[in-house]
A and B are shown apart, each in its own frame.
Chain A
Amino acid sequence: MPLFEDTPAEHAFRLALRKFIAKEFTPYREEWDRNRAVPREAWLKLGRQGYLCPYLPKEYGGSNLNFRYVVIMLQELTAGDAMCIGVTNHNDNSTRYIYHHGTEELKRRLLPKCITGEAVACFAMTEPGAGSDAAAITTKAVRHGDHYILNGSKCFITNGMFADIMIVMCRVESPDVDPKKNYSLLCVEGESIKHIRRHQFEKIGRHGQDTAEIFFENCPVPVGNLLGREGEGFKCTMQALGRERLELCIKAQVYADECLKEALAYAKVREAFGKPIGNFEHIAFELAEMATEVEIGNTFLHACVEEFIRGEDITKRVSMAKAWIPEMCNRVAYKAVQIFGGYGYMAEYRIARLYQDVRAMPIFGGTTEIMNLVIARQLGFKPIF
């Protein structure tokens, strides 16, 4: 189900990417899941075809592609079962901090490697004691001469295990910054990476995707690797948050659509008591409701995408989308598994993997509960919690 009608160039891009994913990623998904890792070669292949950081201006080696291409990449990677490669995090989140807030020297040095896939980037904000309550982060950077010394830990970091570049939210201890507002972003890379330890999480789904816990132990980071200014960390992330949530909704919407497609196809061929199960009223009505929910999600998401492209403030509506679409996606996935019966619980079936994968959608990028908090505030309330 298209979110918008592609222009000829967008259509050509979509078909080229679809073909690439179908040959290079989809067949390997199970192997990568088993290995709990995507090989670097997959990143290099993406880089060779120009799919890494295509938003960057041509002067940095990018293709200067707009947000509609981001949507296409999210849709095709999700539909092609290729979300285990954290390319959208690399493209649309982590590397953008370098591009928007890094020094020219940092951009010239790091972005070309991010385009080829030689360097993979991650964004590290969440901590064991600071998830929804992002202000509670304790990772600390203290300035010593021309370096910051970083200490602390981060968790649930996509691409964290194999990342060469880490954008780390921390608190800078500096006489120039109010200790209550000292959140800052540091770009940890090169020699600094040698001073960290990492541990890969075992998850209930998305096994191929690298999700790590990271420990910084007296990790020196050159002062030139500060992104933005000291104390501007949250300002930088707040600008990116609406966009990140919109992107998560796009993925969730595709997941919902894929679950529906699986269920529809199965209900037409699986027979019980002498007829296809889709012809039993209960199943037919379940499918009717699933299809309706998917359509509603698509329509609302389309409106949000259009508003975002027009540059409007989408805070309230994208929070509504993030609160509703991932939950809807889970409802659809649950019902789809139910329609598959016992086969739906077998890992070799795509629907079983989709069911596992979608569970994280209402959690990351801001939980449904936090989204409702944002919406309530936008409505003029001050919920007590």
Chain B
Amino acid sequence: MAQLDIKVLIKQVPNTAEVKIDPHTGTLMREGMESIINPDDLHAIEAALRLRDAHGGKVTAISMGPPQAVDVLREALGMGADECFLLTDRAFAGADTLATSYTLGKCIQRLGRFDLVIAGHQAIDGDTAQIGPQVAEFLDVPQVIRAITLEIKDNELLAERTAEECTEVVKCPLPALVTVTKEANDPRYLFIPLLMAAFEAEAPVKVWGSKDIGADEASTGLKGSPTKVQRTFTPSHKKKIEKLTGAPADMARTLVDRLRERRVL
């Protein structure tokens, strides 16, 4: 078959492992918070690079976000991606998953032929896991969600995907879209010469706006987002402590009763 053309969708997210909550306001303390590449997306890049290395071809990383999201694209180049596109435009701001999927989908269409789109299963900030499936719908290609192995044979994709209580083996024609989970692979480290080259003026990072991808601005950003956020709040977890006293056997009985009342047992 011809050389593989693989697009990888990646996202810059706050490092939620380091997130601190303001104890007074209950809101996220963003100051000084580090931004990282979404963890699942590292597995998407790795999966793409392995297929490219096995079959030949090209890996293109695409991210939508503010200008500083270029950092995660440079990381993709440091891992070995061939080129990158940053979709950044005021018109893209405030997008929900539908508007984001539309924007990413338009970019992929604009880039022409592709064999495979790979995305991380979900992002650690929004946790929706909707982008992959929605982009597949937009592009009108088959989708394999939560893949853990990927193989290409005779112009077809063979993949194992995890379902609720089993693993499915699926086969689908190309082009297709796949989302991968962290079980898919062990992402490689950054290769310093490539990472350093990603910061040079001639690095293959292109920045595209709404016009470059031919987007209908009614479908991007806040305008294209049917999701309306009513309110955000930190749920309160009230703690009630009951101290058991008495003989050990009585305390054990009371404890079992309490656990049954709460349906723990």
Chain A residues near B (Cβ < 8 Å): 8-9, 12-13, 16, 19-20, 48-51, 54, 58, 63, 65
Given that A63-B196, A65-B196 are contacting pairs, would A12 and B189 also be in contact in the complex, using a CB cutoff of 8 Å? no
- Give 6 CB contacts A-B under 8 Å: A8-B199, A12-B195, A13-B195, A16-B190, A16-B192, A49-B189
Given known contacts A13-B192, A54-B192, A63-B193, what 11 new A-B pairs fall within 8 Å (CB)? Answer: A9-B195, A16-B190, A16-B195, A19-B189, A49-B189, A49-B190, A49-B191, A50-B191, A58-B193, A63-B192, A65-B196
Given that A8-B71, A12-B75, A12-B78 are contacting pairs, would A51 and B192 also be in contact in the complex, using a CB cutoff of 8 Å? yes
Chain A residues with CB below 8 A from B189, complex form: 16, 19-20, 49
User: What distance in Å separates the Cβ of A12 from its nearest Cβ neighbour in chain B?
Assistant: 6
Q: Does B161 contact A (CB under 8 A)?
A: no
Q: Give the number of chain B interface residues (Cβ < 8 Å).
A: 13
Pairwise interchain contact A9-B199, C-beta atoms closer than 8 A: yes
Q: Does B74 contact A (CB under 8 A)?
A: yes
User: What distance in Å separates the Cβ of A91 from its nearest Cβ neighbour in chain B?
Assistant: 12
Chain B residues near A (Cβ < 8 Å): 71, 74-75, 78, 189-193, 195-196, 198-199
User: What distance in Å separates the Cβ of A10 from its nearest Cβ neighbour in chain B?
Assistant: 9
Chain A residues with CB below 8 A from B192, complex form: 13, 16, 49-51, 54, 63
Pairwise interchain contact A16-B78, C-beta atoms closer than 8 A: yes
Please list the 6 inter-chain residue pairs (A to B) with the smallest Cβ-Cβ separation, ordered nearest first. A50-B192, A9-B199, A16-B190, A63-B193, A63-B196, A50-B193
Alpha-carbon gap, A12 to B74, bound state (A) = 9
Alpha-carbon gap, A16 to B192, bound state (A) = 8
- Of the candidates A13, A48, A54, the one having the most CB atoms from chain B within 10 angstroms of its own CB is A13
Chain B residues with CB below 8 A from A13, complex form: 192, 195-196
Closest to A17 in B: B192
Chain B residues with CB below 8 A from A58, complex form: 193
Closest to A7 in B: B199
Closest to B192 in A: A50
Alpha-carbon gap, A369 to B164, bound state (A) = 69
Alpha-carbon gap, A16 to B190, bound state (A) = 6
Alpha-carbon gap, A228 to B192, bound state (A) = 31
Closest to B70 in A: A8
Pairwise interchain contact B71-A12, C-beta atoms closer than 8 A: yes
Chain B residues with CB below 8 A from A8, complex form: 71, 199
User: What distance in Å separates the Cβ of A252 from its nearest Cβ neighbour in chain B?
Assistant: 26
Alpha-carbon gap, A13 to B190, bound state (A) = 9
Alpha-carbon gap, A8 to B189, bound state (A) = 18
Alpha-carbon gap, A65 to B197, bound state (A) = 11
Chain A residues with CB below 8 A from B196, complex form: 9, 13, 63, 65
Alpha-carbon gap, A48 to B189, bound state (A) = 9
Closest to B75 in A: A12
Alpha-carbon gap, A19 to B17, bound state (A) = 15
Alpha-carbon gap, A17 to B71, bound state (A) = 16
Chain A residues with CB below 8 A from B199, complex form: 8-9, 12
User: What distance in Å separates the Cβ of B149 from its nearest Cβ neighbour in chain A?
Assistant: 23
Closest to A8 in B: B199
Chain A residues with CB below 8 A from B198, complex form: 12
User: What distance in Å separates the Cβ of A73 from its nearest Cβ neighbour in chain B?
Assistant: 10
Chain A residues with CB below 8 A from B195, complex form: 9, 12-13, 16
Chain B residues with CB below 8 A from A49, complex form: 189-192
User: What distance in Å separates the Cβ of B33 from its nearest Cβ neighbour in chain A?
Assistant: 14
Alpha-carbon gap, A12 to B191, bound state (A) = 11
Alpha-carbon gap, A12 to B192, bound state (A) = 10
User: What distance in Å separates the Cβ of B182 from its nearest Cβ neighbour in chain A?
Assistant: 15
Chain A residues with CB below 8 A from B193, complex form: 50, 58, 63
User: What distance in Å separates the Cβ of B203 from its nearest Cβ neighbour in chain A?
Assistant: 10
User: What distance in Å separates the Cβ of A109 from its nearest Cβ neighbour in chain B?
Assistant: 21
Alpha-carbon gap, A12 to B190, bound state (A) = 10
Chain A residues with CB below 8 A from B190, complex form: 12, 16, 49
Alpha-carbon gap, A48 to B198, bound state (A) = 18
User: What distance in Å separates the Cβ of A276 from its nearest Cβ neighbour in chain B?
Assistant: 20
Chain B residues with CB below 8 A from A48, complex form: 191
Alpha-carbon gap, A13 to B191, bound state (A) = 10
Closest to B197 in A: A63
Alpha-carbon gap, A19 to B195, bound state (A) = 14
Alpha-carbon gap, A9 to B193, bound state (A) = 12
Chain A residues with CB below 8 A from B191, complex form: 48-50
Alpha-carbon gap, A19 to B75, bound state (A) = 13
Closest to B74 in A: A12
Alpha-carbon gap, A16 to B78, bound state (A) = 10
Closest to B36 in A: A15
Alpha-carbon gap, A54 to B194, bound state (A) = 12
Alpha-carbon gap, A8 to B74, bound state (A) = 10
User: What distance in Å separates the Cβ of B86 from its nearest Cβ neighbour in chain A?
Assistant: 14
